[in-house]
Amino acid sequence: MLGEEVWEAVVADWRTAPVGEGRMAVLVFLEKLTMRPDELGRDDVDAVLATGVSEQALRDAVKVCALFNMIVRMADSLGWDVPPPAVLAARAPKMLEGGYALSAIASR
């Protein structure tokens, strides 16, 4: 688990945050997936796996990234607002409990 100081470093500039080689490789991959998907190839996957990240962990990260990308695009296009921090904090326990399973999302 990442500590609060590491989280703050990620928010400030993820490229220089002390997250370890594997997490950094995943973040680089996800940025490319989000910003330049046409440039993504097998070499990018191999670079992440070479750091010790498992294929399943990379798949999971890609799924979460895809969901967030879709939600952000929908929110931007439909003018959805981000709930205030207190509302997000109230929802956090359920989010941690259920993760990204569709059945858990539906019950929130």
Show me where the domains of the chain are located: 4-80
Query: For 54-69, what is the mean pLDDT?
Result: 95
Q: Positive or negative CA dihedral for 68, 29, 19, 10?
A: negative
* pLDDT at site 52: 98
pLDDT band at 9 (very low <50, low <70, confident <90, very high): very high
Q: Report the pLDDT value the prediction gives residue 106, as an integer from 0 to 100.
A: 58
- Residue 30 CB-density burial (10 A; 0-12 exposed, 13-18 middle, 19+ buried): buried
Q: Does domain 4-80 have CATH number 1.20.1290.10?
A: yes
| 7, containing H or E segment | helix 4-13
Average pLDDT (32-55) is 97
Q: What would the mean pLDDT of 55-75 be, rounded to a whole number?
A: 93
The four Cα atoms 87, 2, 70, 91 give a dihedral, to 10 degrees, of: -20
